[in-house]
Amino acid sequence: MWSVVKSVLAAFFGVQREERRREDFEKGRPGAFILVGIVMALLLVGVVALVAIQAAR
């Protein structure tokens, strides 16, 4: 699970190691990446919204 989170974070940032990418494609399940991706996208939106609300005060 932790490795899925790390891979999704790397995708958000836009940089990934070649070995890890190959590993993900060989061993990972697509459903896990999709689920973690959606949850973390929502988290990112939440963090940005919090920063914006702070800034607007």
Partner 1 sequence: MRTLLVWMAGSLGLALGVPLAMANGWNMPVGVTDVSREIHSLHMTIFWICVIIGVVVFGVMFYSLFRFRRSKGAKSAHFHENTTVEVIWTAVPLLILVGMAVPATATLKKMYDASDAELDVMIIGQQWRWRYEYLGEDVAFTSNLGTPRDQIRGAEARGEHYLLEVDEPLVLPINRKVRFLMTSDDVIHSWWVPELAVKQDTIPGFVNENWVRINEPGIYRGQCAELCGMDHGFMPVVVHAMEEEDFDAWLAERKEAAEQEAMGVDREWELAELMERGEGVYGSICASCHQAEGQGSPPAFPALAGNQRLIDDLEWHLDTVINGVSGTAMPAFRSTLNPVEIAAVVTWTRNAWGNDTGEAVQPADVAERLAQ
The span from the CA of 11 to the CA of 21, in Å, is: 10
For partner 1, the binding residues in 27-56 under the rule CB under 8 A are 55-56
13 is a contact residue toward partner 1 (CB under 8 A): yes
- Of 1, 2, 14, 53, which lies in the binding site for partner 1, with binding defined by CB under 8 A? 14
22 is a contact residue toward partner 1 (CB under 8 A): no
Q: What is the closest distance, in whole angstroms, from the C-beta atom of residue 19 to partner 1 in the complex?
A: 10
- Taking alpha carbons only, the member of 42, 46, 23, 45 closest to residue 4 is 23
Q: Specify the amino acid at residue 13.
A: F
17 is a contact residue toward partner 1 (CB under 8 A): yes
Structure tokens belonging to residue 30: 């697509």
